[in-house]
Structure 1
């Protein structure tokens, strides 16, 4: 399989399904931890899931062998207690949003 992705080879795209209202967290926290760890947001998300006692095997849907290899690299990431706390810290939307009255 592949090693961790190089910083310039990471795919950065807008996360699908992440919503501050639905999850209580901000995808920005995922991106920040990913950047600090030289990992992809997908790897950090999967690593977080693997730290949960109730998750035995997260369901992933890779579209290519490269995506599968990237996802599998998540098992090598051990998040710190601080990182987990940051990922789980709820962020509540502020209404009204400035500039969108």
Structure 2
């Protein structure tokens, strides 16, 4: 299997990370809708605390890219289960599957 690019991994990792805060598949649709806005606000608040370098209450593209890269790099060793310093499709799929279960 060929290695997956860092950008592709970071996009999917961020989507999985954000998705875990927005909707829990076990909740009824009505409850999910009522909680989605609160969860989105909470997620945005957490992102601001971690990534808003100039503390203006907004995330620039550069700040968000930096946060994504930092998040991915911190998880890289966890994703790279065979320790070969690259992420293959099998490792990535296993990581995304485990993240979705949380």
The TM-score with structure 1 as length reference comes to 0.29
Flag the structure with higher helix content. Answer: 2
Larger RCO (CA under 8 A, 6+ residues apart):
2
Task: Report the structure number with the largest CA radius of gyration.
Answer: 2
The TM-score with structure 2 as length reference comes to 0.29
